[in-house]
Chain A
Amino acid sequence: DAGVIQSPRHEVTEMGQEVTLRCKPISGHNSLFWYRQTMMRGLELLIYFNNNVPIDDSGMPEDRFSAKMPNASFSTLKIQPSEPRDSAVYFCASSWGTSVTGELFFGEGSRLTVL
């Protein structure tokens, strides 16, 4: 299996621009998580989906952030408009959820820099 695939790996953009991060979870996994990692705040859960349905988005910082999961094999995290404080590494992770095991499989992350 290829694992969780994220794109782009690196993104540099200017303040005010729209940013879209993409994630392909491991086939068969029914839970998908978006995390943000910074030195100051560590790993923060932004949102998670179960069977393509958003279950908890309480970690989404503000209305500038939105996430979708149109099908079981694809999810996006969008920031519009982006701000310098959004600079971080964004991780997508997937798991079997409650059915089998709790292991989270993380992608390699998307490093976002907002100038």
Chain B
Amino acid sequence: QQQVKQSPQSLIVQKGGISIINCAYENTAFDYFPWYQQFPGKGPALLIAIRPDVSEKKEGRFTISFNKSAKQFSLHIMDSQPGDSATYFCAASNNFNKFYFGSGTKLNVKP
């Protein structure tokens, strides 16, 4: 059973546009929701993370929106740049133990 469901599988956005990736989870015990960014040939790296006690977290052009009642969270990339082209994974964890990853979204930002 997939603990975290992620969509879309791939996304094409024009430079300057907004990229939006969505994730949903079932386990209400999850208390930590990170997003990881992966470039080809590299390991995933933490981009931004949120705890369920806040509804939004912003770091530069990256924002996580969190809806606890709907058990959904999303990543918004404002003013998307070609350098943002990568694969993005959402994840969820309970007390930083097991991390469950979404299936990934391949983002392509067109110049």
Nearest Cβ in chain A — how far from B81, in angstroms?
23
A54 on interface, CB distance cutoff 8 Å? no
Contact indicator B34/A108 (Cβ below 8 Å): no
Contact indicator A104/B99 (Cβ below 8 Å): yes
Within the complex, which residue of A4, A56, A97, A107 is in contact with B96, where a contact is CB–CB below 8 Å?
A97
Contact indicator A42/B102 (Cβ below 8 Å): yes
Residues of B within 8 A of A31 (CB): 96
Give the residues from 14 to 69 in chain B that come closer than 8 angstroms, CB to CB, to chain A. Answer: 32, 34, 36, 41-46, 49
The chain A residue sitting closest to B51, CB to CB, is A102
A33 on interface, CB distance cutoff 8 Å? yes
B73 on interface, CB distance cutoff 8 Å? no
State A108–B43 Cα separation when bound (angstroms): 5
Nearest Cβ in chain B — how far from A25, in angstroms?
13
Nearest Cβ in chain B — how far from A112, in angstroms?
15
Contact indicator A106/B44 (Cβ below 8 Å): yes
Contact indicator A104/B46 (Cβ below 8 Å): yes
Give the residues from 93 to 113 in chain A that come closer than 8 angstroms, CB to CB, to chain B. Answer: 93, 95, 97-98, 101-104, 106-109
Nearest Cβ in chain A — how far from B84, in angstroms?
19
Contact indicator A102/B93 (Cβ below 8 Å): yes
Q: What bracket does the count of chain B residues touching chain A fall in?
A: 20 to 34
Contact indicator A33/B99 (Cβ below 8 Å): yes
Give the residues from 41 to 83 in chain A that come closer than 8 angstroms, CB to CB, to chain B. Answer: 42-43, 45, 48, 55-56
Nearest Cβ in chain B — how far from A47, in angstroms?
11
Within the complex, which residue of B43, B93, B103 is in contact with A42, where a contact is CB–CB below 8 Å?
B103
State A29–B32 Cα separation when bound (angstroms): 19
Contact indicator A98/B96 (Cβ below 8 Å): yes
The chain B residue sitting closest to A91, CB to CB, is B43
Nearest Cβ in chain A — how far from B24, in angstroms?
15
Residues of A within 8 A of B89 (CB): 42-43
16 A-B pairs in the complex with CB atoms less than 8 angstroms apart: A31-B96, A33-B99, A42-B102, A43-B104, A45-B99, A45-B101, A56-B98, A91-B43, A98-B97, A101-B96, A103-B34, A103-B46, A104-B99, A107-B43, A108-B41, A108-B43
